[in-house]
Structure 1
Amino acid sequence: MEKITKEMTIKEIAQKYPETASVFIDLGLYCFGCPIAQVETIEEMAKAYRFDLKKILEDLNKTIKTKKNK
């Protein structure tokens, strides 16, 4: 099963799983093409914005699992 991990960059996730855009938008993050998104991992982003990393990963993985099951 494919899974999004904390080591993946925002760009990598957005390109491989475009359906996850809604999760980022719900967090108030709209800049998938920003230079920092090219290299920033989900873990780094969560630390920078003080988001719950575990919750973000759960939401992202739930989104890709739901899409895959359709």
Structure 2
Amino acid sequence: MSITITRDMTIGRIREVCPRADEVLSRFFGPGCFSCPNSRLKSIEFGASVHGQDVDEVVEELNRLMQEQ
């Protein structure tokens, strides 16, 4: 079963389905993202907005990783 990352998925869910997601998330959001208690509950769109990143670019990079798995 192939899962596609979408902008409304939570960061927690993305980390569950994509073991290498931390590589992308730390590059776009910084390593502090993982110590934030709400990061698991917030959407990737919210994270991108807070960190001034283009959500489409983040999602594209995560989906590229998903295809490599």
Structures share a fold, TM > 0.5? yes
Task: Give the aligned partner of residue 11 of structure 2.
Answer: 10
Identity %: 28
With the length of structure 1 as denominator, give the TM-score of the two structures.
0.81
> Gaps (5+ residues) in structure 1?
none
Aligned partner of residue 38 in structure 2, secondary structure: helix
Rounded Cα–Cα distance in structure 1 between residues aligned with 2:36 and 2:43:
13
**Structure 2 CA distance for partners of 1:17 and 1:36, relative to 1, 3 Å:** same
**1:42 pairs with one of 41, 44, 50:** 44
Match status 1:29 vs 2:24:
no
Q: State how many pairs are aligned.
A: 67
Q: CA deviation at 1:28?
A: 4.3
With the length of structure 2 as denominator, give the TM-score of the two structures.
0.82
Contact (CA 8 Å) 1:11, 1:33: kept in 2 or not? no
> Gaps (5+ residues) in structure 2?
none
Q: CA deviation at 1:34?
A: 2.9
| RMSD between superposed Cα atoms in Å | 1.5
Rounded Cα–Cα distance in structure 1 between residues aligned with 2:51 and 2:5:
19
Amino acid at match of 1:3: T
Runs of 4+ in 1 over 4 A off after TM superposition: none
